Structure 1
């Protein structure tokens, strides 16, 4: 199916990045099994909670910062170069699709990006190293250097509204797709998991590649339960031998 596609959407979850050393947050050994997620409302309400949220985020960030694009990221980038994939929609916050060479305008990050921070009041961008420096120097949660507002990683937290523009762009790309390929996502988190449902209802062929079963397997034209890297490697070997 991939070889015939010209406007495929690739939808990615944590499973595409585990091969890069980034843990799956929801697995039995994942981050959320060790730490209860901090709700967005709690982050806003208390500086102590913001400081704890940043402490946890910096632990995650240390892992993300060391990671490099894996075989799956590179395969998706190559499929885009070959004209088969038009858009990547990702639930991941690691920035590895961009690091693999996919242009930013063709990546829709529906859960945000963990490589930088923003002021919730004025939108000013702040680098993570700056945030770390403020915490190390003052022992307090950072505030915006421009307006004094609350600074938060540019990710979507539990209880935080999804980004309207990114979700609108993701729906538009899904409706325009001639193939919807979900890679490494458990398809449990909504509204993100509604995108493959939308593709199926639009009669777009849906392919699911994931290690475990998903609740949407019954909607798919093809389901492959396996690690993403080897499967995509085999696909690329057939499409571009040698």
Structure 2
């Protein structure tokens, strides 16, 4: 059974209406100051940053987005392909799972935007509940258990990735026969290094991305076409072979 690992970045979700971050029209290029809203130290120390962050979450297209053809193609490969598929995603939108990928087969390196976590007691609840409180007038809703600061259950700048999740991702990268990096600039570490680790351990490395990446010279195949068009064709080819 062939193990196919898919590392997905923001580019896979742009067709769902969620803008990327580092592409030509990405959020960080359009508004460099927006990075502060997802930087841990700034978020924890500045109530105004937190209020702006909650407004950003309230208005985010993430929670209105639906899986697109690329997400569905990944889920179809897992369901119908007769092989083992694992998704390692840099995204926090949960669209792989909503497209039909079993949650146990999706590693969310940067956490999830669909939950919130208390920075004091660690209590977790849904983002929908927190945003309902924002809509009701709480500009910076505290934890309902202990009163400490709430944050999105995502990995902010300045926070470490969950070592258990990262360890599982490393194991998959070393074990897979095919590693497909799709919609990611492969610039954010340590996620980006997974592509090189897979190649070093003998995997066929395929990169599907509009822009060049630092790992293009290690790839067996590079696809620059639109992800919504290219990925379903690519995965169908792997299915048939």
* Residue 239 of structure 1, CA deviation: 6.2
Instruction: Name whichever of 231-240 and 100-109 sits farther off.
Output: 231-240
Report the equivalent of 1:205. Answer: 204
Task: Provide the rounded CA distance (Å) in 2 between the counterparts of 1:23 and 1:109.
Answer: 18
TM superposition score normalised by structure 2: 0.90
- Tell whether the 8 Å contact from 2:77 to 2:236 is kept in structure 1 after alignment: no
Deviation digits for residues 53-97 of structure 1 (CA, Å, limit 9, x no counterpart): 22222222xx11221111111111111112334310000111000
Backbone CA RMSD of aligned residues: 1.9
In the aligned structure 2, how far is the partner of 1:229 from the partner of 1:126?
33
Output aligned runs, 1:8-87, within 5 Å. 8-32=4-28, 33-36=30-33, 37-38=35-36, 39-60=39-60, 63-81=61-79, 82-87=81-86
SS of match in other structure, 2:11: helix
Q: Distance in 1 between matches of 2:5 and 2:152?
A: 27
Is the Cα–Cα contact under 8 Å of residues 10 and 85 in structure 1 kept in the other structure? Answer: no
Q: In the alignment, what sits opposite 2:183?
A: 184
Contact map agreement 1:184 1:210 (CA 8 A) in 2 = yes
Which deviations, in whole Å up to 9, do the C-alpha atoms of 1:185-236 show, x marking residues without a partner?
1111111101111112222221111112111100111111111221223235
User: More deviation in 98-107 or 153-162?
Assistant: 153-162
1:173 alignment partner, SS class: helix
Superposed, 1:1-242 pairs within 5 Å as: 6-32=2-28, 33-36=30-33, 37-38=35-36, 39-60=39-60, 63-81=61-79, 82-235=81-234, 238=237
Q: Which moved further from structure 2: 34-43 or 178-187?
A: 34-43
Unaligned runs of 5+ in 2: none
- Provide the rounded CA distance (Å) in 2 between the counterparts of 1:203 and 1:108: 22
Is the Cα contact below 8 Å between 1:74 and 1:100 reproduced in 2?
yes
- TM-score, reference length from structure 1: 0.90
> Could you tell me how far 1:128 is from its partner in structure 2?
2.1
Number of aligned positions between the proteins: 235
SS in 2 for 1:17: helix
Q: Any gaps of 5 or more consecutive residues in structure 1?
A: none
For residues 119 and 88 of structure 1, the distance between their equivalents in structure 2, rounded to whole angstroms, comes to 27
